[in-house]
Structure 1
Amino acid sequence: MAQQKDNRILIVLLAILLISLIGLGVWSYKTYQENEGIKIEWNDEKSQIQNELENIEADYTLEIDKGNALSSELINARDRITRLVDSVSNLETDVKVISILRKELGNIKKQRNLLQDRINTLEVINQNLSVVNDSTLAALNSQITKTQDQNATIENLNSNMSRAAALIPTNFASVGVIIRNSGKQIENDRASRVDDIKVCFTLPENSLAALGVTSFYLQVINPDNNVLGLNKTEEFDGQKLTYSKKLPFNYKGKELDLCELVNANEDLIIKGRYRINLYNGPIRVSSNEITLR
């Protein structure tokens, strides 16, 4: 009788042990599957970051091939990306590596936006200087050969002076921001979290520029080609401009830093590429792009 009781106890213990082993096996398998899923997500994000870095690297190469005045800075920036891309492929993917790559990609994007702004500014300045030089030479030749063109020459020279007196913004930059209840603004590039678009730029010192209160017009176009903000239209000498916000400022001849929120409708803040333009009347004086993911 005691023997049978001992056998039953042994059978029960074996059954409990078997159930425990099966449970442990199921838990181990689920944990393995979850870890494999996380690794796949990390690898996908690493590949996406590599693609973005390679695209920025290709953009730099294109500007360098143009013989841009900022070629040395562009080459340094491109070499930094090349080294990062080379090292990424050799890294074992984990949460620390992904965090570092996200931070580096964010820094590289900010540097790209600053360089692009400087490139755009140089292009505008070079265009104006080219027009000024061509017009001035034409005026001088005309004055030498035909004294009767004196009035036209003066008009051309006045036009050149107007171009030299134009305010051309620098450091033109745009970012998505989260706006806290306290009013604090935090940069973010995730469309679902961004509350508004902030645009900043600097007006340089220019002794020839007109002093006093004047206005620029800010235009922000979302990926669906909608103009954010006021979406109003102004007409300048027969040319119509649809703008997001009018930016009045008091220029006193000294360097002036300006930052403005677009006051965009949050429903129109979506994923994709945004085009940001700044106009002085009908003339575009700065532009750049940002991408919200």
Structure 2
Amino acid sequence: MIVNPQEFNYRVTIGILVVAIVAFAAYGFTSYSTLKSDKDFLVQEKRHLHNELSEIINRFDALNSENLSLKSQLDSTSYKVRVTNFAINKLEANAVFNKVAQNELKFLKVQKRSLENREDSLIKASKQIEEEKQEVIKQLSFEKAEKRHALLEKMELKKKVDKASLISANSFKAIAFKINSSDKTTQTFKAKDAEHIELCFVIAENLIAPQGTKNLYIQIIDPENNIVADKGAVNFGDESLIFSESRKVNYSNEVLDVCLTIPGDEAFKSGNYYINVFENNRHLGGTELELN
């Protein structure tokens, strides 16, 4: 069998070219599949990381703190999250830059984890500050209520002390009498015979009342609502008191008997006479006298 060398070489060359083309095509297909897979992975990772950072941004926007230092940290970290998210959006997943993109994505993932840790720390700090704030508000409210209660108790005690320190009077008794020719007094129940009214009463013992001079005023109202033996009026601020007689007594915290005689300035009328006793403008008590 005769073989043409030129034809043989040609066939060998063709075979080699076919094998090379097939190998190159297989390599190209494999490289394309690998690149496409890497690109899909990068796109998926980019989308996933973008979503996670968007959630972090939303959580930061929801955080609110009145603490200036913490607020500054929140704003700074929130800014870093937004910058990182922007970098992810700009990240290209082209086949030419897959290696660079993968490295950049790894860096962004690390930065994202750091931001998440920072977020957890800031959230805990924010919650702690809010709890401390509420505790302070609660404590202040409690102290305010305690002070108010103590003030009310003090005011109530002062009222009781003030009231207890006032003098009081009792055992009021009034009689009408006339003076006969021998200067003897004779009690009478007849208006036509009456010339004077005598009033007696007792100022009670009070150990906490202030000692000293007490100004007493006697007011006698006749059956026609006129003041008997009108001595004029004494003023106490916006109030005035018309009185029939006045007396200054020296009080020393002990029982004090007081008697006064009020002469009629005109003939007594038949009927009821109302007799009141005042310390300044404060009513101590009184009694009633009936004349026929």
TM-score normalized by the length of structure 2: 0.48
TM-score normalized by the length of structure 1: 0.47
Larger Rg computed on CA atoms: 2
